[in-house]
Amino acid sequence: MYLDPWKPVDKAIISHGHADHSRWGHKAYITHHINVPIIKHRLGEINVTGKEWGETFTIKNVKFSLHPAGHIIGSSQIRVEHKGEVWVFTGDYKTEDDGVATPYEPIKCHTFITECTFGLPAFKWRPQSEVFNDINTWWSDNKAEGKTSVIFGYSLGKAQRLLRYLDTDIGKIYTHGAIENMTEVIRPLSPMPETTRVTRETKKEELLGNIVVAPPSAHGSTWIRKMVPYVTASASGWMAFRGARRRRAIDKGFILSDHCDWQGLLESVEATGAEKIISTHGYTDIFTRYLLEQGYDARTEATQYEGELGEETEKEQE
């Protein structure tokens, strides 16, 4: 039994649908039932079993259960219990309730295996309501200037979070094909606003003043030329880095992450009551050093998880 394995195995428990956690080639998949249609969309006809939150299943005397991780829709932490010893594997997670994913719940455990994509004290997120106010104001300003707004977010997770809070009183929401395809899968699972797919037939005049949600890979592609005159923005935790927006030649950066910030990580570690903390990906060394100073038994474990980078490098087809 493996959790989010990166090599093909017989039995895999999958935390969530991002490409760096749900790989192709396992003989059997177990995941939360909300994630079943999502990973089927990505991986095709796989042998997958869906579980409820907190539903216990036993494999060779080890008890497993899935608990909300709040990262993206259908994302789980995986609780593992054997002879009274409890470990929790977070996969990716965030503590803020984004209104789309089932909100994160801290789980008591002895050992906590945590991601720390943004495990630096400099990362401190604002409440998403403030960020979405900024995004909608930006859209409205672009419209007043007669421009199309193009905002980049990963096709699974970030895109639906954007869709949920874009203000359709300003204009219409258009989507890149990769985002429309994924959103069609998610519509029966979570309410989404009306969207229109950008196709070859879409005229640039009809896009003017409206907003287009696209995956990061669409930036710099021929696809985006249809949007002229347009203004670009990225909604990502990486936008907190000085220079990240300029390096990517994006007009505007909105700091919006589906991962914990520094405080979120620390509060989560504390809420689990765990004494052993294992960090899997992100700023693991800095986070681990800090935890050691606080008296935790902390270490880093090398994995192939990539946090937001893994979500971005996923191949996104139009």
Minimal distance in Å, beta carbon 62 to Zn ion?
25
**Between residues 92 and 180, which has the closer beta carbon with respect to Zn ion?**
92
The amino acid sitting at 61 is: N
Residue 98 interacts with Zn ion (CB under 5 A)? no
Minimal distance in Å, beta carbon 17 to Zn ion?
8
Residue 306 interacts with Zn ion (CB under 5 A)? no
Contact 12, 29 (CB under 8 A): yes
Minimal distance in Å, beta carbon 313 to Zn ion?
12
Burial status of residue 228 (CB atoms within 10 A of its CB: 0-12, 13-18, 19 or more): exposed
Stretch that binds Zn ion, among 26-34, 85-93, 238-246, 269-277 (CB under 5 A): 85-93
Among 15, 18, 29, 73, binds Zn ion (CB under 5 A): 18
The amino acid sitting at 255 is: I
Residue 308 interacts with Zn ion (CB under 5 A)? no
Question: Taking CB under 5 A as the rule, which mask of x and - marks residues 39-78 in contact with Zn ion?
Answer: ----------------------------------------
Residue 259 interacts with Zn ion (CB under 5 A)? no
* Rounded Cα distance, 14 and 75, in Å: 9
CB atoms within 10 A of CB 151: 24
Minimal distance in Å, beta carbon 82 to Zn ion?
27
234-245 exposure pattern, b = at least 16 Cβ within 10 A, e = fewer: bbbbbbbeeebb
Residue 94 interacts with Zn ion (CB under 5 A)? no
**Between residues 92 and 312, which has the closer beta carbon with respect to Zn ion?**
92
Stretch that binds Zn ion, among 10-18, 59-67, 227-235, 281-289 (CB under 5 A): 10-18
C-alpha dihedral, 303 to 6 to 153 to 224, nearest 10°: 120
Stretch that binds Zn ion, among 11-19, 133-141, 142-150, 163-171 (CB under 5 A): 11-19
Minimal distance in Å, beta carbon 154 to Zn ion?
8
Among 4, 23, 88, 92, binds Zn ion (CB under 5 A): 92
Q: Are strands 196-197 and 252-254 parallel, antiparallel or unpaired?
A: unpaired
* Rounded Cα distance, 260 and 115, in Å: 9
Contacts for 56 with CB less than 8 Å, ≥ 6 apart: 63, 64, 65
Stretch that binds Zn ion, among 90-98, 163-171, 235-243, 272-280 (CB under 5 A): 90-98
Question: What is the size of the binding site for Zn ion (CB under 5 A)?
Answer: 2
**Between residues 92 and 316, which has the closer beta carbon with respect to Zn ion?**
92
Stretch that binds Zn ion, among 60-68, 91-99, 167-175, 209-217 (CB under 5 A): 91-99
Residue 281 interacts with Zn ion (CB under 5 A)? no
For Zn ion, the binding residues (CB under 5 A) are 18, 92
